[in-house]
Structure 1
């Protein structure tokens, strides 16, 4: 810490650099113009460089001063942002979901949520990583798995892992659905990171005879590829309900209750709960129940 410049000098330099004026910086910081000038001189002495050129109309950066100010300004911006995140915001709710859950279920349902709760600032963190309720400031999280999830968490089942094989209607035109397992085994397969096809085909007692396959990192991409006619995707049925209803996809295989990897919404088990968080939780539970 001894190698770092004094914080007050950095604050004075940041303000003076944004205003290019000691007087304007002094007004912003609530000190005298002389105090700002002194703090900047102390910083220059500490660093052994000249940061500003004094010009008739105020200040001008030296080349090293401009470069240093860009870095210092970014640091102060990060500090202000981190501090703002700590302040209580009763209407803000941060929910962590996978990118596929966000794209294929949560976002399509947002118009209903916005209409019902216009005053809640719902923020979505779409990530494959397991977010931390403490360090990431998460209020709610939707994850796949099996209970228990930990003594500190309440878990509510949203959707069972009900898998269905889907494809664009043109892929299986004039064929009866569901397809016979042998017929399905010969169609091109679209795989995602969950790699569910081997288990599904074993459930049907057939082996994969695909002439080709496509491998993608996310289920949402697999769904999009199926809509584009690239083969058959194996996905949770609730995620493609809208696509099935709209005719973009059709079910070509029997539904399989895979089990053991269902969708739950998690919430910290605390005594006092934010009202907005409870309202989001209640809405998600009701919306998922209506979709089943």
Structure 2
């Protein structure tokens, strides 16, 4: 059975003064005068029969008794704050752990479509460039790039990847003729450093070999850690990038990029983007709704936006 506590109203003043080691700072925090804080603490000391602060001309400092009370008061206020947070109605939240390039080039541009279907939930886009474990106490899914080996989870492959040169339409302005692969050699070549991520992925050497240009001297190459950066550099006209079909689809459809050559290389079969979720999801759960939406979206072709005609074909899946 709890006992009534005399002087309870002085405890916020005491807690603030103990935290700041200053009656003036405590008064500023609480929106009262310094004299009011000093008066409340003096009354609390008289009630307890102990000194809670050592007062000097320039500062105040907790006594041993003050330290004991501070520990108890801080703990009580934390418990009260936690209880109040639990009483507040909260929206369910979905955490989506996702690779950086997929997040910026595919997921974020479409996210409003998912949110329109589930306006009652919050979403946290957790950008990760590593394999993550799904957190047990959260609504949590992941979009990973790799070989899709996740034996404890539901895994959905999000399609095959095709690698092809892409560039800004402005980069190849000039006489109307079909570009020759040798034209690449006078431009900066943009590529992703997949080896640093432990993956064996087609690069410019692989593509030039397939185009019968192996061993031909070429100019500068600029390498990036993330595909989205290489693609953005190509959009800005800084060179020709090797883009994969999932990430460049929207930019091709919108005319921000073009495919100057038909030659495309299929990525290694074992590598792809995968949606990872818990097994046995209840129909209608947040994760199941996101999974259903994502699989529909990934199967749909990029929406073509009206504007300048693009000399492109839809990327193969």
- Range into which the TM-score falls when normalised by the shorter chain: 0.5 to 0.7
Q: 1:112 to 1:63 in 2, by over 3 A?
A: farther
Structure 1 residue 176, shift from structure 2 partner: 5.0
Structure 1 residue 273, shift from structure 2 partner: 7.5
SS of the residue aligned with 1:215?
strand
Q: 1:158 to 1:89 in 2, by over 3 A?
A: farther
- TM-score by length of structure 2 reads 0.62
Pairing of 1:14-93 with structure 2 (within 5 A) = 17=19, 20=26, 34=44, 62=60, 91-93=92-94
Choose the corresponding residue for 1:255, options 251, 264, 269.
264
Q: 1:104 to 1:61 in 2, by over 3 A?
A: farther
Between structure 1 and structure 2, the one with the greater Rg is 2
**Unaligned runs of at least 5 residues, structure 1:** 1-11, 25-31, 45-49
Q: 1:102 to 1:62 in 2, by over 3 A?
A: farther
Q: Name 1:213's counterpart in structure 2.
A: 221
Please tell me whether residue 164 in structure 1 is matched to residue 164 in structure 2.
Answer: yes
Q: Name 1:224's counterpart in structure 2.
A: 232
Whole-Å separation in 2 of the counterparts to 1:213 and 1:63: 63
**Unaligned runs of at least 5 residues, structure 2:** 1-13, 31-40, 63-69, 196-201, 302-316
SS of the residue aligned with 1:250?
coil
Q: Name 1:133's counterpart in structure 2.
A: 134
Q: 1:166 to 1:154 in 2, by over 3 A?
A: same
Q: Pairwise CA RMSD of aligned residues? A: 4.1
CA deviation map 1:166-221 (0-9, x unaligned): 001122224656x4443335532012232642333333342363311222222111
SS of the residue aligned with 1:283?
helix
Choose the corresponding residue for 1:285, options 281, 292, 295.
295
Choose the corresponding residue for 2:277, options 264, 267, 277.
267
Whole-Å separation in 2 of the counterparts to 1:118 and 1:100: 26
Whole-Å separation in 2 of the counterparts to 1:136 and 1:216: 36
Q: Name 1:113's counterpart in structure 2.
A: 114
Matched pairs, number: 243
Structure 1 residue 289, shift from structure 2 partner: 0.9
Structure 1 residue 89, shift from structure 2 partner: 6.5
Q: Name 1:5's counterpart in structure 2.
A: none
Q: 1:252 to 1:271 in 2, by over 3 A?
A: closer
Q: Name 2:211's counterpart in structure 1.
A: 204
CA deviation map 1:150-172 (0-9, x unaligned): 32111101131211210011222
Structure 1 residue 119, shift from structure 2 partner: 1.5
Q: Name 1:122's counterpart in structure 2.
A: 123
Q: Please tell me whether the aligned partners of residues 90 and 274 of structure 1 are also in contact (alpha carbons under 8 angstroms).
A: no
Structure 1 residue 113, shift from structure 2 partner: 1.5
CA deviation map 1:23-71 (0-9, x unaligned): x8xxxxxxx9859x97x978x8xxxxx6xx599xxxx97599xxxx9xx
Q: Name 2:245's counterpart in structure 1.
A: 237
Q: 1:15 to 1:244 in 2, by over 3 A?
A: farther
